[in-house]
Amino acid sequence: MTDRRKFIKKGTYVALGGMILPYACASKKNSEGEKPEVMNGESVEKSIKKIGVQAYSVRDALQEDFSGSMKKIADMGYEYIEAYGLSLDGKLFGMTPAEYKKIVDDLGMKVISSHATYFTPDQAPALIEASQAAGLEYLVIPWLGEELRTDYMKIADNLNKVGELVNQAGLKFGYHNHNFEFEKQGDKYPLEIMLENTDPDLVTFEMDIYWVVNAGADPMALINKYPGRFSLYHVKDANPELEQTTVGQGIIDFKELLSARKKAGLDYYFVEDERTDDPFGNLKAAIDYLNQLEF
């Protein structure tokens, strides 16, 4: 983490159309606009308070006791799950998608989305079939290996081709950012290349708010520059040193970002906390904060 902070302080990230700004200097102006009447068939006020969690937050506990760990999440009041570990063999966290879905459904929650390995159109059928069996609405690529980070136009082309297949199957397809997408290549940032060269009808984006801030960028400026492109959020907080901290205890203005849901195009948001110290305590504090937050 120290190296990333030094990288930011050296001024590598410079202003680009108002998007790349030090978050501490970003405007706190409330951008709440006219609220949409419905979201996914529900009133906004009802659906927006249904809070999701990225299952990776409790990854060690899930390995030890999947059902028991999911029950702890349900007991906290989380209603949506974003899974991870969807692999090319069609397994979801090492089990059949139907098995995964049943455990979550029986606890009164719903699996909305899953992260999958990076894949190409020829690999898509198994992942699409698994996604349908799990009852997913979204299939998301969350990571690019370093060997893939040399040609983002090629990545964008692949996302479009995969997105077409996923959408034809009745699902939505997205890409999730980290901070390396803000390491400039030529005169563009990789995330900009992907946003500007993917079809909005085929490819959406899951904004990991923490990693945007960690990269020295302003999440709200990103939304303003690319409205309607962020159907999903990862709600994850940063302390002043840009390390992860408990949601609601850091520097990120979640009220502003969640109030901008219409402009962002937001459908769902998932709490994620990658720290392994007291993961269930971290998730409980996060949902308590979000439940009392007015937006």
Tell me the average pLDDT across 3-24: 42
Please determine, for residue 63, whether its predicted confidence score (pLDDT) is greater than 90: yes
- Looking up tokens 């899930």 gives 62
Supply the pLDDT for residue 49. 76
In the numeric block, the tokens 């964008």 are attached to: 156
37-52 confidence digits (pLDDT tens) = 555 556 555 566 799 9
pTM listed for this prediction = 0.88
Would the pLDDT of 30 be above 50? no
Instruction: Express as a percent the part of the chain with pLDDT over 90.
Output: 83
Q: Is the pLDDT of residue 74 over 70?
A: yes
pLDDT in the model for residue 47 = 62
Please give the average per-residue pLDDT across 90-107, as a whole number: 98
Q: pLDDT digit string (tens) for 133-142? A: 999 999 999 9
**Percent of the chain predicted with pLDDT > 70:** 84
Least confident of 12-16, 74-78, 104-108: 12-16
CATH ID of 2-7+43-292, from 3.20.20.150, 3.30.930.10, 3.40.50.720, 3.90.180.10: 3.20.20.150
43 or 143: which leads in pLDDT: 143
* Average pLDDT for 267-292: 98
Amino acid, res. 269: Y
Report pLDDT for 31.
Answer: 38
pLDDT digits (tens, 9 = 90+) for 194-245: 999 999 999 999 999 999 999 999 999 999 999 999 999 999 999 999 999 9
Least confident among 1-5, 53-57, 121-125, 148-152? 1-5
CA distances from 13 to 175, 211, 218 (A): 22, 14, 11
Instruction: Inform me whether the pLDDT recorded for 13 exceeds 50.
Output: no
Residue 27, pLDDT score? 36
> What average pLDDT does the structure give for the chain?
89
